[in-house]
Amino acid sequence: MEIDKNIIKLMLPLPFRLDYINCYLLRGKEGWDIIDSGLNYPPALAAWEKFFKLYNIRYTDINNIYLTHYHPDHYGTAGWLQALTGASVHIHRAENAQVEQLWKKGRLNFPLVGDMFNEHGMPATLTTEVVDNLSEILANVQPHPILSFLDGGEEIEIGLRLFKILHTPGHSDGHLCFFCEAEGLLISGDHILPHITSNIGLWPTSHSNPLEHYLTSLEMTGCLEVKKVLPGHGNVFNDCAGRVDQLIRHHRQRLVSIADMAANGSTAHKICELLFGEDLKLHELRFAMAETLAHLAYLESRGKVISKREGEVIIYRKV
C-alpha cells in the first residue's frame, strides 16, 4: 500500500506469532530504494516477486537496500535481493560484527548462548532445545549480501527525500532509524513500535548494557519533531513522543518488578518464568530470557541488584 507520496509499505509474511514485517520502498528519480528486506522464507520471496510484477518494477530498478539492523526478519533476504538487482546493501558498521559472529559463524557461537542461559539457571535440556532452534534460522539469512557500512549522522537521499541516519542502539547495537526532518517522517525499524515493545536482549555478542543504550536512544528520538512513524511491525502512527513516554514507563516499571522478584535471591531463569510465564515457544523463550538478563544487567549497573555465583548458577539479589 502507498502510505505517503512515493513510499510503499510491503508487508512480508513471517512464520512466527509476530507474523509480518514492514518493508518500505521509496521511489526516486531513477528507480527505487528499499528499507529492510524480510526473512528468506518462501512466502516472503513470493511476495517480493508479486510486488515487482504488480508495480512493473525491473530488478535493475532497485538502487539501494538499507537495513535497520541485522535481525533475520530485516536482514534475511538482503543477499537474495542483491543477487537479483545488483543493489548496494547498507547497514550500521556495528551490525557487521553480529553478522559475522552469528549468521556466518553461528554454529560455532550459538553454544555461547546456551552457556550463558545455563549459568543463569535454565535447565541444560531446555538450553539444548533453545540453541538447536536458534540454529534453524541460519537457512533464512542466506545468501549473505556484500555490505556497505553506515556510522550514523550521515544525510542521504533515499528515494526523493533527504534522510538523516540515526544510530539508535538498544534493540541491537547498530540499529538505525531514518529521519526526514523536512517532513517529520521517521522510519523506525524495531526501535519504536506502535503496539508491542521491542525486545531488548543481552547476548554473549552484544553490548553489556543494551537497556541503558535503548533508554538513551528513546530519549533522543522522543525529542525529534516527528509527525509520522513508519515502524518495522504494525501500523503507521503519529504520536512518536507519546509512544516514547509509554515505552520508557514500561521499562521503568519492569525494572521495579524484576528487582522485587530478586528480593530473596533468584536466578534469571526463574525471574523470566515469573515475568513471561512458561507457555512460550522456543524462540520466544530465547527472547524472554535475553530480555530478563538485559534488565538485570541494567539494575546491577545502577546498584539495585547484585549477582553472585552460587555453585553452578548465578543468583541475583535486590540491594
Q: Please choose, from the candidates 190, 266, 286, the residue with its C-alpha nearest in 3D space to the C-alpha of residue 229.
A: 190
CA angle 178, 187, 76 (to 5 degrees): 95
Would you give per-residue pLDDT tens digits along the chain (319 residues)? 888 899 999 999 999 888 999 999 999 999 999 999 999 999 999 999 999 999 999 999 999 999 999 999 999 999 999 999 999 999 999 999 999 999 999 889 999 999 999 999 999 999 999 999 999 999 999 999 999 999 999 999 999 999 999 999 999 999 999 999 999 999 999 999 999 999 999 999 999 999 999 999 999 999 999 999 999 999 999 999 999 999 999 999 999 999 999 999 999 999 999 999 988 999 999 999 999 999 999 999 999 999 999 999 999 999 9
Our count of domains for the chain comes to 1
Could you give the CA distance from residue 40 to residue 123 in angstroms, rounded to a whole number? 31
**Residue 309, beta-bridge partner list:** 314
Measure Cα distances from 174 to 104, 132, 163, 165, 210 in Å.
Answer: 17, 26, 17, 11, 11
| pLDDT score for 2 | 86
Q: Please choose, from the candidates 190, 188, 170, 171, the residue with its C-alpha nearest in 3D space to the C-alpha of residue 179.
A: 188
Could you give the CA distance from residue 265 to residue 268 in angstroms, rounded to a whole number? 10
Residue 58 near residue 49 (C-beta atoms within 8 A) = no
| Domain limits for position 304 | 2-318
* Residue keyed to cell 521517521: 186
Sequence-separated contacts (24+) of 285-291 with Cβ below 8 Å: 285/126, 285/130, 286/113, 286/130, 286/133, 286/134, 287/199, 287/201, 289/117, 289/120, 289/122, 289/130, 290/199, 290/201, 290/202, 290/203, 291/199, 291/200, 291/201
DSSP string, 221-285: HHTS--SEEEESSS--BS-HHHHHHHHHHHHHHHHHHHHHHTTT-B-HHHHHHHHH-S---HHHH
Q: Tell me, what DSSP letter sits at residue 61?
A: G
Dihedral of the alpha carbons of 102, 250, 292, 261, in degrees to the nearest 10 = 180
Within 10 angstroms of residue 138's Cβ, the number of other Cβ atoms is: 15
| pLDDT score for 39 | 97
| pLDDT score for 181 | 97
Dihedral of the alpha carbons of 78, 22, 33, 80, in degrees to the nearest 10 = 20
Q: Which grid cell is 2?
A: 502507498
Residue 297 near residue 276 (C-beta atoms within 8 A) = no
| pLDDT score for 218 | 98
> Who's near 194: CB < 8 A, 6+ residues apart?
229, 231, 234, 235, 237, 243
Residue 24: CATH number of its domain: 3.60.15.10
CA angle 32, 26, 168 (to 5 degrees): 120
| pLDDT score for 57 | 94
Q: Strand 228-231's sheet: what is its strand order?
A: 155-158, 161-167, 176-180, 185-189, 228-231
Q: Please choose, from the candidates 115, 118, 120, 119, the residue with its C-alpha nearest in 3D space to the C-alpha of residue 268.
A: 120
What is the pTM for the complete model shown? 0.96
| pLDDT score for 4 | 86
